[in-house]
A and B are shown apart, each in its own frame.
Chain A
Amino acid sequence: MMRFERNNRKLVTSEISMKKMSILNFFGVHLGFAALAFVVGCGGGHSSSASTPITPPPPPTGSNVQAIIVNAGPGGNYANGVFTSVSVCMPATTSCQTIDGILVDTGSSGLRILSSALTSVTLPKQTAADGNAVVECLPFVSGYTWGPVETADVQISGETAKSLPIQIISATDFPVPTSCSNRGAAENTLAQLGANGIIGVGLNAQDCGDQCVATGAQNPDLYFECPTSGCVVTGEPLAKQVINPVSLFTGDNNGVIIELPAITGPEATVSGSLIFGIGTRSNNGLGPATVYPTDNQFHFTTTYKNQAYPASFIDSGSNGLFFLTTAIDGIPTCSNASSFYCPTTTENLSATTQGAGGVGTGTVNFSVANADGLFANASATAFSQLGGANTLSGFDWGLPFFFGRNVYSAIEGQSTPGGVGPYWAY
């Protein structure tokens, strides 16, 4: 047992030194790029040498390319979170603030920023017809974010979404109504969220959609207007809802691609690209990717051990590969009451994915390692083999799925060379 642990530690050490090398490699790519540009600027140089070093492909470039990074995030404690920065501007002005540590989430739509992170720009609050502020309660899996809807010009890479409704997350600007706090845990602070905000670039055009347009029994109580007497549910037109920021770009507005390199062991940081548009430029074509349309609940089918799970999905905002439960798949969870899987030896598994209506089929090979062992690498934040339990409904293909794949998310109703969204492609 001790020897095993020592061996493990040795492995860890070598992984960390590989990690350091890969960080150097990453900077090397950029330095190499700069050097290449320099050489080209000087009119060329030696084009061949005795040994040709293997270099990863250069990162894509263009005004639709935004750098993203997997790291510990602004809370310093995130596992498998992919972050970027956005510039938030007072509409139609150059008064802007750039905010980093924004989680890139293909499992939701809309930009949400912690009030505590938005320090140097004051944005106009959206108001209902009677002049009261509009405030949103957005449910997530086990909690909610609460705060007013405000309007901003949002810049990311060379793209701009003008007059974009966004949520400013704050527990204190307006009192949280009971129907909101009844949803579970508040996720209104940096400590709770682990991020300065979330940029939802998922398949849906708005966060709520048709259900929130009118008040009534169908309304799920997401949008409120808040007079001093207290917050009450309000009808929210589609265009005023917190919408997918990509939809408001003047071009490159039909979806996104997330590109992250393959990793073998735990890594301290991993850099990649968030590319806007699908098939709108030379740098965002579908290439050999297979298109997987989703159903109207944004699901496709994952088949695992001959059992089909039609409520499966891909989500960069989930921080592991979450599927089934120990009772179904026999993989034990960790002893520290976490929901992560802790198999004694790494499980090498396989599943097939199929789009709605049987369109698109592919095999996904994946591995689930012992989460406690992965987390023993104190400086690591990126884990391609982190898995855990889900509900009985199927597979939640989180961030590990994105390592080594270019994953396309096409927005509902938008035309692309691969058909009309919603779909994933990879």
Chain B
Amino acid sequence: MKAFLWQTIPISALLRSAVCASLLGGSLFLTLPAFAGLGEDAGSVDADQAQMQGARRVTQSAAYSVHEIKAPTGVTVREYVSKSGQVFGVAWQGPWPPDMRQILANNFETYRQASEAQVNSHNGRRPLVIDQHEFVMHAGGHMRSFNGRAFIPALLPNGVTPESIR
């Protein structure tokens, strides 16, 4: 078993720091990245947490840290952050999907277009699988229970398997 370092970042602390930042001259919105989530830097997790109004728990392991955000909607998002400070993977689970634009960031359009393209060969409702060189995503579930995962293969730390992201 690996030893994990548990760290909790309450939403109040996050908001306090954001408010302090804005009092120091920047506005709250300027202190957060325009796009948060997958492919962005670790600081973008703050924006996701604020958007989800969630509680965060951070788990450290040798190659990366996992920022788990639990929203009051029952949705849990896990963001996988490499030692170099990039979000290389995200996973989600809950009664409804999370705000996909928020957590997929610049990959959202790739996701949306791939979903639309699914009907090109045959119509049919099914899990979504995107398996591209730059972006991989699996999403599934049904009403009241959805889950999925997405990652950027080029950002996976050495020795980390895609199946770690779940």
Contacts and interface: CB of A to CB of B under 8 A. Distances in A.
Contacts of A336: 121
Contacts of B74: 211, 218, 220
A339 B126 contact: yes
A219 B95 CA distance: 11
B39 interface: no
B144 A209 contact: yes
A142 B139 contact: yes
A204 B163 contact: no
Given A75-B123, A319-B124, A391-B127, A192 B144 contact: no
Taking chain A's interface residues, is the majority helix, strand, or loop, or is none over half, making it mixed? loop
Contact of A391 (B75, B115, B148): B148
A93 B166 CA distance: 52
Interface in A202-234: 202, 204, 207, 209, 211, 216-220, 222
B143 interface: yes
Given A140-B125, A318-B125, A319-B125, A109 B115 contact: no
Contacts of A313: 142, 145
B143 A109 contact: yes
Interface string B87-130: 00000010111011110000010011101101101111111110
A396 B163 contact: no
Contacts of B163: 327-328, 392
Name the prevailing secondary structure of the B interface residues.
mixed
B126 A388 contact: yes
Interface residues on chain A, size class: 35 or more
B140 interface: yes
A318 B163 CA distance: 24
Given A141-B125, A184-B100, A192-B119, A200 B111 contact: no
A61 interface: no
Interface residues of B, number: 47
Interface string A142-186: 110000000000000000000000000000000000010011110
A79 interface: yes
19 contacts: A77-B122, A78-B123, A81-B123, A142-B115, A193-B123, A194-B119, A194-B124, A204-B144, A211-B95, A218-B74, A222-B96, A318-B125, A320-B124, A390-B138, A390-B140, A391-B148, A392-B149, A393-B140, A393-B141
Interface of B: 53, 71-75, 93, 95-97, 99-102, 108, 111-113, 115-116, 118-119, 121-129, 131, 138-149, 162-163, 166
Given A139-B146, A219-B73, 19 more contacts: A73-B123, A79-B124, A107-B142, A109-B143, A142-B128, A179-B99, A183-B99, A194-B123, A194-B124, A218-B73, A313-B145, A318-B125, A319-B124, A319-B125, A327-B162, A327-B163, A391-B140, A391-B148, A392-B138
